[in-house]
Amino acid sequence: MSYLTARFEVPDFDTFKERWDSDPAGRRQVATGHRIYRSVENPNEVIVQTEFPSAADAKSFRERLSASGAMDNLKLQAPPVIVEEEETVAY
């Protein structure tokens, strides 16, 4: 599995969530799932982790996402990064 991870600040979380749910870039066509995290200190700081079957799928979607304008009103903390899971350990 590969993941596209982005960290950003949104003007209003509820507005962001409505837009996310509307799926303007078509992530459901290729992604297999996602997680949304919110900062405890700043509830408008959001980290989104979207799961893809492969790094190639994640890269392709990142390009489509960028071209869609879906992130235009978001204050990115860093460019979206593609990662692969190296290890998971439960305690």
Q: What pairing do the DSSP bridges indicate for beta strands 33-38 and 75-84?
A: unpaired
Mind listing the pLDDT tens digit for each residue in 28-42?
Answer: 999 999 999 999 999
Sign of the CA dihedral 42, 47, 27, 78? positive
Q: Is the pLDDT of residue 73 over 80?
A: no
When pLDDT is averaged across residues 71-84 and rounded to a whole number, the result is 87
- Give the domains, in start order, of the chain with CATH numbers: 2-79 (3.30.70.100)
- Residue 49 pLDDT grade (very low, low, confident, very high; cuts 50, 70, 90): very high
